[in-house]
């Protein structure tokens, strides 16, 4: 851009001093002709770096998601392909043979039906035990009266001792039966009282096992967690996956990613979130991507101090000036453009001040974008 401006300036100098000779070409005019572009270009560059700061270090970052199977089994389908195929969130990545897991679900459902029947049977047992306890209580009261009557008769001589002993034996037998009936009733009540979410323990356990089996059956179909691209696809139908977290079968790269530009510290005092920005990538020669400043990441690795027992060293080593990252939000109209992970380029932020010279930075950025078409290699 500076060379272009100098060329235009030189053209007008030639017209004024040599072609039409409107002004004399003497020592004063010569000094003036030399000083004007030096002062003008220096002033323009200083203003541009403050009010429309640029960065030659634009970086595109994208998170990757390693995909592992939650369950083990034989792969029966892999409907995705590696490369530029965009996989939408919820799309099927691969399927595992669901037959073993479906059998486990069916078996647990059958057991659950039987356990629920057993639960009703236990309630009937409780009713029976309660009725038996009540009946035995009534019979014991009657047996106690007979013991008292036979004892009175035996005392007066109107009755024999054998009848008294028989009545006492009957009372002891009934009391033993009552004790067994009460224990049985208490046992049934304890089993019914041991509930989880309103179900007895055995039914609750079967429900939990069934829920886990249904979840495992659902996990035989692995779906994409995001809008991503598939790389490192090492899976084919017929392969066996072990369901281990350290054994990824493919990797997903997010479609959007993050674009940041690194700026020197003294270039950031005019930049604010919401400022209009543009950047170019060498993967897209001639293209200018429009964006807005999302935020400034006010942190660098040099500002991190690890906790230790050593006193930090100051004043001994001089660290080079660090740069801070400015994060961009790409405008919706330009999101379909190729923004490849790892791509690099140039960027400019147009602040709220000095808007008259923003056009100069825009021209510089676009000229640089078109020079990306040049492949400067000897062979």
pLDDT in tens, the chain (379 residues): 567 767 777 887 788 878 778 888 888 888 888 888 888 778 888 888 999 999 999 999 988 899 999 899 999 999 998 877 889 999 999 999 999 999 999 998 888 777 665 555 566 666 777 777 777 788 778 878 777 777 777 777 666 777 767 777 887 887 787 787 777 777 766 665 555 455 566 777 888 899 999 999 999 999 999 889 998 888 899 999 887 777 788 999 988 889 999 999 889 999 999 999 999 999 999 999 999 999 999 887 777 666 666 665 554 444 456 789 999 999 999 888 888 888 999 999 999 988 888 998 999 899 899 999 998 887 7
Say if residue 185 is in the same domain as residue 293.
no
Q: Is the pTM of this model over 0.75?
A: no
Q: What are the DSSP E strand ranges found in 114-218?
A: 195-196, 199-200
* pLDDT of the residue at 316: 44
Domain-located, residue 311: no
Residue 121: per-residue pLDDT: 58
Domain check: are 165 and 224 in the same one?
no
Asked, for residue 315, whether it belongs to a domain, the answer is no
Do 161 and 79 fall into the same domain?
no
Separation between Cα atoms, residue 190 and residue 131, nearest integer Å = 17
- Confirm whether 34 is domain-assigned: yes
204, 288: one domain:
no
Q: What is the CATH number of the domain that holds 88?
A: 2.40.50.100
> What CATH number does the domain containing 330 carry?
2.40.30.170
3 state SS of 202: helix
Please give the residue range of the domain that contains residue 361: 52-62+256-301+320-379
Strands (E), the chain: 54-61, 64-67, 73-77, 86-87, 92-96, 195-196, 199-200, 221-223, 228-231, 240-241, 250-254, 258-264, 276-281, 289-297, 323-330, 344-350
Do residues 120 and 206 both lie within one domain? yes
**Is there a single domain that holds both residue 276 and residue 289?**
yes
Q: Are 261 and 238 in a shared domain?
A: no
Domain-embedded: residue 215: no
| Helices H / strands E in the chain, number of each | 6, 16
Whether 10 and 90 share a structural domain: no
**pLDDT reported for residue 196:** 46
Task: Say if 129 falls within a structural domain.
Answer: yes
Residues 205 and 56 in one domain: no
3-class secondary-structure state, position 167: helix
- Is residue 295 located within the same domain as residue 185? no
Within this chain, do residues 179 and 288 fall inside the same structural domain, yes or no?
no
Residues 294 and 224 in one domain: no
Which residue among 147, 176, 210 closes a domain?
A: 210
pLDDT of the residue at 24: 84
> Under 8 Å CB-to-CB from 194, ≥6 apart: which residues?
200, 201
Domain count along the chain: 4
- Specify if 307 maps to a domain: no
Is residue 306 one of the residues assigned to a domain? no
């Amino acid at each position: 851009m500076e060379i272009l401006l100098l060329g235009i300036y030189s053209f007008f100098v030639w017209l004024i001093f040599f072609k039409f000779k409107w002004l004399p070409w003497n020592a004063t005019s010569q000094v003036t002709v030399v000083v004007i572009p030096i002062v003008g270009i220096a002033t323009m560059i200083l203003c541009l770096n403050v009010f429309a700061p640029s960065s030659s270090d634009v970086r595109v970052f994208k998170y990757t998601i390693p995909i592992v199977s939650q369950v083990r089994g034989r792969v029966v389908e892999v409907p995705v392909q590696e490369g530029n195929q965009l996989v939408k969130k919820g799309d099927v990545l691969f399927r595992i043979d669901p037959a073993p897991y479906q059998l486990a679900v069916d078996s647990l459902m059958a057991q659950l039906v039987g356990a629920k029947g057993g639960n009703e049977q236990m309630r009937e047992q409780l009713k029976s035990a309660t009725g038996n306890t009540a009946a035995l209580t009534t019979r014991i009261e009657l047996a106690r009266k007979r013991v008292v009557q036979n004892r009175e008769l035996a005392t007066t001589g109107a009755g024999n001792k054998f009848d008294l002993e028989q009545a006492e034996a009957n009372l002891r037998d009934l009391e033993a039966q009552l004790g067994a009936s009460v224990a049985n009733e208490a046992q049934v009540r304890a089993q019914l009282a041991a509930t989880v979410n309103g179900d007895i323990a055995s039914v609750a356990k079967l429900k939990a096992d069934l829920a886990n089996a249904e979840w495992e059956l659902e996990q035989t179909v692995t779906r994409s967690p995001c809008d991503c691209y598939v790389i490192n696809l090492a899976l084919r139908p017929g392969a066996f996956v072990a369901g281990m977290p350290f054994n990824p079968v493919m990797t997903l790269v997010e479609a959007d990613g993050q674009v940041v530009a690194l700026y020197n510290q003294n270039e950031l005092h005019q930049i604010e979130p919401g400022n209009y920005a543009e950047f170019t990538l060498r993967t897209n020669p001639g293209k200018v991507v429009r964006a807005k400043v999302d935020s400034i990441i006010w942190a660098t690795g040099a500002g991190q101090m690890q906790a230790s027992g050593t006193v930090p060293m100051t004043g001994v080593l001089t660290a080079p000036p660090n740069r801070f990252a400015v994060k961009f939000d790409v405008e919706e109209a330009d999101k379909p453009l190729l923004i490849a992970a790892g791509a690099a380029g140039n960027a400019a932020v147009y602040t709220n001040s000095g808007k008259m010279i923003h056009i100069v930075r825009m021209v510089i950025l676009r000229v640089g974008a078109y020079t990306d078409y040049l492949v400067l290699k000897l062979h």
